[in-house]
């Protein structure tokens, strides 16, 4: 049997999904939804948009499931879809109403104490992420929260490794400024 | 705050808790959307007949060939494809990130480096690409007219003229992109005004 990065159970669920079994695909969604919703939330800063984008990601993944070749982990493949949908979403938002989205991004977390963050540090970090340009935010989400190397993040984002390194560098520079008053060890 | 301290803060940040019922309902919502909108993946895969794919590929090849021909006319010599600084996207992104601060973006054996002005006093002007090889090592730069770069222990001033020509003035030579005679000692130089190059 050929070795694949997906687990046996996962491979079986993918196979069943490909044959049109919705329960099998629901099981795949169930096991990966937290990761995908975390990515889309970090990228949008909005629970509603995050949920919608996560749904879009799973729908797109289903449509292209036949092209998943098992050379990477299924979760990595899903992550790539989710992050690129989030970037497309941000571009659309910017085009539609640049001023509004900028304002919304900058104030969403700051003016919304009911956003449900467990503590002040978490709220401040998300507010700082919201102020990064989308590509820099994506680079931080992948390298810090998804623990991808710069090379892996470059594959996910479809750009050069050096571009990821620069984005991470620039993002860190800005985040340090935005979070300088937080206590650190 | 250093890099590790920043990473530690970022990793400590947690997300808002997702309600149990939302987690429960989410897969059903996805499946409901699939039932509403999407054919099964295998059916979707056979959507385009083979002939249509061949036509699409042929059109792409024709477009790529046309672009190649057009670029060939635009450029007299090609920037090396492996040179990261040949990426217009990256350069424009860097310029947007650090407006009026970039003195030079440097790529050499040790990787990419950014030389920034502390005061943001670099005048806005078209980016200039310079590649200098000393026989063993090559360094590439994207910089601006009036800026200085360091190569092989020399300080070289980079200038551009009104017609897009580039002049490099080192301590031991002056080199011009518009003249054929390379009076730059053992250095091999290539330079382009990126405002005139379709990358």
Model confidence pLDDT, tens digit, residues B144-176: 888 988 887 788 889 887 777 888 888 777 888
Residues of B within 8 A of A121 (CB-CB) are 9, 12-13
CA distance linking residue A5 with residue A75, whole number of Å: 10
Whether B44 and A51 lie within 8 Å, measured CB to CB: no
* pLDDT above 50 (res B132): yes
Query: What's chain B's average pLDDT?
Result: 77
Residue A97 or A64, more confident: A64
d(CA A18, CA B42): 6
Block residue for tokens 């929260």: A145
| Candidate from A41, A160, A175 with C-beta closest to B15 | A41
- Closest alpha carbon within chain A to B98: A170
The Cα A78–Cα A68 span in angstroms is 10
Cβ contacts of B28 on chain A, cutoff 8 Å: 26
> Does A80 have pLDDT greater than 90?
yes
For the segment B81-104, the average pLDDT, to the nearest whole number, is 75
CA distance A88 to chain B (A): 17
Residues of chain B neighbouring A169 (CB-CB closer than 8 A): 114
Residue with the larger pLDDT of the pair B1 and B77: B1
Q: For chain A, what's the residue count?
A: 185
Residue A139 to residue A154: CA distance in whole angstroms: 9
Cβ distance B111 to A37 less than 8 Å, yes or no, reads: no
Tokens at residue B32, please? Answer: 């409901």
Q: Does the beta-carbon distance from A166 to B94 stay under 8 Å? A: yes
Residue from B30, B36, B90 to probe the interface with A (highest A Cβ count within 10 Å): B30
Neighbour count for residue A85 (Cβ, 10 Å) = 21
Task: State pLDDT tens for residues B20-39.
Answer: 888 999 999 999 888 776 55
Are A25 and B34 a contacting pair at CB < 8 A?
yes
Residues 90-149 of B with CB under 8 A from A: 90, 93-94, 97-98, 111-112, 114
Using an 8 Å Cβ cutoff, are B43 and A142 in contact?
no
pLDDT at residue B51, rounded to an integer: 63
- Which region, left, alpha or beta, applies to residue B128 given φ > 0 means left and ψ of -120 to 50 means alpha? beta
Say what the pLDDT of residue A27 is.
94
Collapse the DSSP code of B56 into the 3-class scheme (helix H, G, I; strand E, B; otherwise coil) and give the result.
helix
Q: Name the CA radius of gyration of chain B, rounded.
A: 26
**Per-residue pLDDT at B71 exceeds 80:** no
**Closest Cα to residue A83, out of A28, A135, A23?**
A135
Give the highest mean pLDDT range of A18-32, B46-60, B102-116: A18-32
Chain B contacts of A148, Cβ < 8 Å?
Answer: none
Q: What value does the mean pLDDT take over residues B124-152?
A: 86
Whether the pLDDT of residue B179 is over 50: the answer is yes
């Amino acid at each position: 049997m050929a070795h694949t990065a997906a687990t046996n159970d996962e491979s079986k669920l993918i196979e069943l999904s490909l044959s049109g079994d919705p329960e099998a695909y629901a099981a795949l969604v169930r096991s990966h939804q937290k990761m995908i919703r975390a990515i889309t939330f970090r990228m949008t800063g909005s629970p509603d948009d995050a949920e919608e984008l996560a749904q879009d990601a799973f729908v797109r993944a289903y449509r292209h499931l036949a092209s998943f070749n098992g050379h990477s982990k299924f979760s990595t493949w899903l992550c790539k879809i989710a992050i690129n949908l989030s970037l497309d979403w941000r571009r659309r938002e910017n085009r539609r109403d640049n001023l509004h989205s900028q304002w919304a991004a900058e104030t969403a977390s700051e003016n919304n104490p009911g956003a449900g963050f467990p503590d002040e540090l978490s709220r401040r970090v998300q507010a700082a992420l919201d102020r990064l340009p989308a590509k820099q935010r994506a680079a931080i989400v992948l390298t810090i929260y998804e623990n991808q190397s710069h090379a892996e993040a470059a594959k996910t984002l479809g750009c050069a490794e050096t571009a990821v390194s620069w984005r991470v560098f620039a993002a860190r520079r800005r985040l340090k400024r935005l979070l300088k008053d937080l206590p650190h060890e | 705050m250093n890099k590790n301290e920043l990473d530690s803060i970022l990793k400590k940040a947690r997300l808002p808790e997702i309600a149990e019922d939302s987690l429960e309902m989410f897969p059903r919502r996805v499946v409901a959307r699939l039932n509403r909108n999407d054919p099964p993946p295998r059916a979707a895969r056979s959507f385009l007949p083979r002939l249509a794919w061949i036509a699409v590929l042929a059109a792409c090849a024709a477009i790529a060939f046309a672009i190649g021909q057009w670029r060939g006319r635009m450029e007299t010599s090609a920037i090396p494809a492996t040179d990261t600084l040949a990426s217009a996207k990256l350069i424009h992104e860097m310029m947007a990130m650090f407006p009026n601060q970039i003195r030079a973006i440097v790529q050499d054996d040790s990787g990419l480096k950014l030389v920034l002005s502390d005061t943001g006093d670099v005048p806005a002007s078209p980016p200039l690409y310079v590649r200098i090889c000393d026989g063993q090592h090559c360094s590439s730069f994207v910089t601006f007219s009036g800026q200085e770069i360091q190569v092989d222990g020399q300080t070289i001033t980079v200038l551009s003229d009104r017609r897009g020509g580039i002049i490099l003035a080192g301590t031991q030579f002056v080199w011009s992109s518009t003249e054929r005679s390379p009076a730059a000692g053992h250095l091999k130089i290539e330079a382009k005004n990126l405002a005139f190059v379709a990358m």
